[in-house]
Amino acid sequence: MQRVYLDNAATTPMHKEVIDTMTQCMHNIYGNPSSTHVFGREAKAQMELSRKKIAELLNVSSSEIVFTSCGTESNNFIIRSCVDHLGVTRIITSTLEHKCVQETVAEMESNRKVEVIRVKLDPSGSVDYDELERILQVSDKKTLVTLMHANNEIGNLLDVEKVQQLCEENNALFHTDTVQTLGHYPMDLSKLKIDFASCSAHKLHGPKGIGFAFVRKSLQFKPQITGGGQERNLRSGTENVYGVVGLAKAFEMSLNDLDKHRAHIEDLKSYTIQKLQEEIPGVEFNGLSADLDKSLYTVLNVRLPFKDALIGFELELKGIAVSQGSACSSGASKVSTVIQSVLDAETIERITPVRVSYSCYNTREDIDRLVNVIKQISEKHLVAHYTFKCHSDEGGI
C-alpha cells in the first residue's frame, strides 16, 4: 500500500540535495571545529560559511545566529536567558504556545517568581491586540513578550509587525517562535525588529537535531550550557557540523523555492477544504486554519462532526499519516490544550479534530485518498448514529 504523509508540521522529509550536501561533508570533513590544525579549520570553515549563508538570508549579522540542537532548545535558551541575564521579571505569552515555551514560562513563574500574563484570545484563537497593548502599558517591569508567529496546530498567524511595534513603544523585548514559519515565509530581520526568533531544520526538509536561535546583537546573553565556550561562548559542546551544513542548505532551498512551493501547497489546502465540504456534511475547520490569508499555509485543522478517538489509527490502517495534536503529545487521545483554547467543552465532546499538514511533496492524489478514507469513516459513524436512534425510538437497547 502506497503511504500518504500529511504530517509535515511534525516533521518533513529531507530534500535529496540536503542529504547529498551532508553526505559529501561527512566524507570529507571530520576535524573538530575547535582544533587549530587544518582538519579543525576546515570544519570551522564549513560552520561559519553556513552561518553566513543563513544570516544573509535573514539580513542579519552572522554573530546573531546561535546554533542549537532544535526549536525546543532555541526557545528554552532565549526565554531562560532573558530571565537569567537580561533581568526580565514579567512575561506576556498565550495558551496557544508550543509546550517548549509554555513549560519554560511556567517554570520561570513557579521557580523564578516571574510574573506571567497569558493574553486573552478571541474565539478563533487570535491574540487580542488591544488587550496586549493595555497589559504592556500598565507595568514598568522589564517585560518579555513571547508569542508564536504561527500556531503548529490551528495555523493562526500572529501579526508580528504589530506586536513588534507595540513592544518597541512599550520598551518590551519580543521573542517569536518561528519554528513553523522560518523557511516558509520571507523574513528580513533588518526591517522587522524582533529581538529573538527560533528555527528547527527538520521543519523545512533539513535534518533533525539542529536548529538556531536568532539573538539580536545588542542583547548580552550568557551560556545556558557551559564548557568549552563554543558558539562564541553562548553554547558549549562540539558542534554538529553536518547538521549545520544541512540546515543551511535546507534553509537556502526553502527560500529559493518559496513562491513555487507556497502556490502548490495553497492549491492543495484549498482543494482539501473544497473536497471535504463536498463529501463530509457538517465539516468545519478549527481556528483560522481555513482562512488562507490568516493562517499558516502548510496547516489545516479539520473539525469532523462526530467523535472518534481512534481516527488517527483508522487513517493509519489505510496508509494515511496525519496528527490529532502536536507530535509531542500524539499517541494520547486527549484533545490538545490548543483545541481546548478555541473550542468549548460541549463542542469538544461531539467532534474530532484532525490536523492535516502539507509539504511540497504532497499531491492532489494524496488529498483524494485522505478525503475518501475520511468519507468512509464518516459514513460508518452516520450508520451507527441512525441505527442507535432507530433502536432508541423503538424503545430498544
Enzyme catalytic residues:
328
3-state secondary structure of 395: coil
> Shortest Cβ contact with ligand PLP: which residue?
71
**Surface-to-core class of residue 186, CB atoms within 10 Å of its CB (0-12 exposed, 13-18 middle, 19+ buried):** exposed
Instruction: Return all residues near 36 (Cβ < 8 A) that are at least 6 apart.
Output: none
- Residue 153 C-beta: closest distance to ligand PLP, Å: 8
Between 100 and 189, CB nearer to ligand PLP:
100
Q: Is the Cβ–Cβ distance between 152 and 9 less than 8 Å?
A: yes
- Residue 358 C-beta: closest distance to ligand PLP, Å: 15
Between 326 and 362, CB nearer to ligand PLP:
326
E strand or H helix that includes residue 91 = strand 90-93
Residues in the chain: 397
Instruction: Return all residues near 343 (Cβ < 8 A) that are at least 6 apart.
Output: 286, 303, 351
- Residue 338 C-beta: closest distance to ligand PLP, Å: 10
- Residue 332 C-beta: closest distance to ligand PLP, Å: 15
Q: Can you say whether residue 87 is alpha, beta or left, with left for phi > 0 and alpha for psi between -120 and 50 degrees?
A: left
Between 98 and 249, CB nearer to ligand PLP:
98
Between 46 and 200, CB nearer to ligand PLP:
200
Using alpha carbons, select from 155, 131, 136 the residue that is nearest to residue 292: 155
Which cell numbers in the block locate residue 316?
493509519
> How far, in whole angstroms, is CA 286 from its chain's centroid?
17
- Torsion of the alpha carbons at 201, 206, 207 and 209, rounded to the nearest 10: 0
Between 10 and 55, CB nearer to ligand PLP:
10
Footprint on this chain of ligand PLP (rule: CB under 6 A) = 70-72, 75, 98, 100, 148, 152, 177, 179-180, 200, 211, 326-327
Between 22 and 377, CB nearer to ligand PLP:
22
- Residue 69 C-beta: closest distance to ligand PLP, Å: 8
Between 204 and 280, CB nearer to ligand PLP:
204
Strands (E), 232-342: 284-285, 299-304, 320-321
Q: Is the Cβ–Cβ distance between 32 and 42 less than 8 Å?
A: no
- Residue 277 C-beta: closest distance to ligand PLP, Å: 27
How far CA 223 is from CA of 19, 64, 137, 211, 288, in Å, comes to: 31, 14, 31, 16, 38
- Residue 391 C-beta: closest distance to ligand PLP, Å: 44
Q: Is the Cβ–Cβ distance between 197 and 160 less than 8 Å?
A: no
Using alpha carbons, select from 187, 174, 104, 178 the residue that is nearest to residue 146: 174
